[in-house]
C-alpha cells in the first residue's frame, strides 16, 4: 500500500493537484483519507479509484502498485496436502 500511496501522491503532483483539490473533486468531507492514501495506511475505495482514473486519464489498474509482500513457502507436506506459510513467519 505504501508504493501505491507514493504513486498517487506523485500523480497528484505531476498533474498539479493539491490535497484540497483532490478532496473537493472526490466530494470528501475532509482531506484525511487522501493523506492516509499517500502514507499507505489505506487504499482508496473502488469509487474513488474510478474517479481518480478519470481525473488522470489512466486505467484504475495503473493507479495501483503491486508488490510481492506476501510470498509463501512450503512448510510441511502431509498425505492430505501441503501447508504453506508466509515466509516472514517461518523460523
Is residue 89 pLDDT above 60, yes or no?
A: no
Report residue 26 as a C-alpha cell.
Answer: 472526490
Q: Is the pTM of this model over 0.85?
A: no
DSSP track, 36-48: HHHHTSS---HHH
**Per-residue pLDDT band at 1 (split at 50, 70, 90):** confident
Please compute the mean of the pLDDT values over residues 8-24 and round it to a whole number.
Answer: 96
Cα 73 to chain centroid distance, Å, stands at: 24
Rounded Cα distance, 3 and 33, in Å: 16
Please compute the mean of the pLDDT values over residues 76-82 and round it to a whole number.
Answer: 65
pLDDT digits (tens, 9 = 90+) for 37-54: 999 999 999 999 999 999
Q: Which of 74, 41, 76 is nearest to 86 (CA)?
A: 74
Q: What angle do CA 55, 56, 58 make, to 5 degrees?
A: 115
The owner of cell 497528484 is: 12
Amino acid at each position: 500500500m505504501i508504493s501505491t500511496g507514493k504513486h498517487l501522491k506523485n500523480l497528484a503532483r505531476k498533474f498539479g493537484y493539491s490535497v484540497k483539490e483532490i478532496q473537493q473533486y472526490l466530494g470528501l468531507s475532509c482531506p484525511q483519507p487522501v493523506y492516509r492514501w499517500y502514507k499507505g495506511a489505506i487504499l482508496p475505495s473502488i469509487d474513488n479509484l474510478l474517479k481518480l482514473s478519470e481525473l488522470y486519464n489512466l486505467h484504475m489498474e495503473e493507479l495501483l502498485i503491486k508488490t510481492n509482500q506476501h510470498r509463501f513457502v512450503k512448510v510441511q507436506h502431509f498425505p492430505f496436502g501441503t501447508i504453506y506459510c508466509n515466509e516472514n513467519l517461518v523460523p
